[in-house]
Amino acid sequence: MSLIGNIIWLIFGGFLTAIWYFIVGVGFCITIIGIPFGLQCFKIGLLTLMPFGANVREANPPTGCLATIFNIIWIFAGGIWVALGHLVFGLLLAITIIGIPFARQHFKLLALTFAPFGKEVYYT
């Protein structure tokens, strides 16, 4: 089921969204200061390519205060707007029964895009 969901996801915008995250990640990685943020963009881009069958959890062991500082910078630098975009798309898709599985993927991306530092993606 996750293969079919991922294929439908990619056709209806997931591929272009992942490409965008990868481009932004490369842009961040041009500067030394932006490398941690670029790596998070790559992590989000990979989840955007295959959200079905993936889960987001807190990193074990906890990452510490540096992740908190980076998350605060991420939120103020635009992470809140990306997260709100996933929230809006998730709510719109949740209106229809067919859209509920895709809404759940947007809510998963919402959790990762709001504060990506200290979180990891794993596939079941």
pLDDT of residue 45 exceeding 90, the answer is: yes
Using DSSP's 3-state secondary structure scheme, residue 31 falls into coil
Longest dimension (CA), the chain: 45
Per-residue pLDDT tens over the stretch 16-25: 999 999 999 9
Per-residue pLDDT tens over the stretch 95-116: 999 999 999 999 999 999 999 9
Alpha-carbon span 71 to 89, nearest angstrom:
23
Q: Tell me the C-alpha to C-alpha distance, in Å, between residue 73 and each of 32, 43, 115, 116.
A: 16, 17, 10, 11
Q: What is the pLDDT of residue 7?
A: 93
**Angle made by CA atoms 10, 14, 16, in degrees to the nearest 5:** 105
Per-residue pLDDT tens over the stretch 4-15: 999 999 999 999
Q: What is the pLDDT of residue 50?
A: 92
Per-residue pLDDT tens over the stretch 54-91: 999 888 877 778 889 999 999 999 899 999 999 999 99
Q: What is the pLDDT of residue 112?
A: 93
Binned at pLDDT 50, 70 and 90, residue 2 comes out as confident
Q: What is the pLDDT of residue 61?
A: 75
Looking at residue 53, what DSSP letter applies? Answer: T
Higher pLDDT pick, 124 / 4: 4
Cis check: omega of the bond before 51, within 30 degrees of 0: no
Using a 10 angstrom Cβ sphere, with 0-12 exposed, 13-18 middle and 19 or more buried, the burial of residue 87 is middle
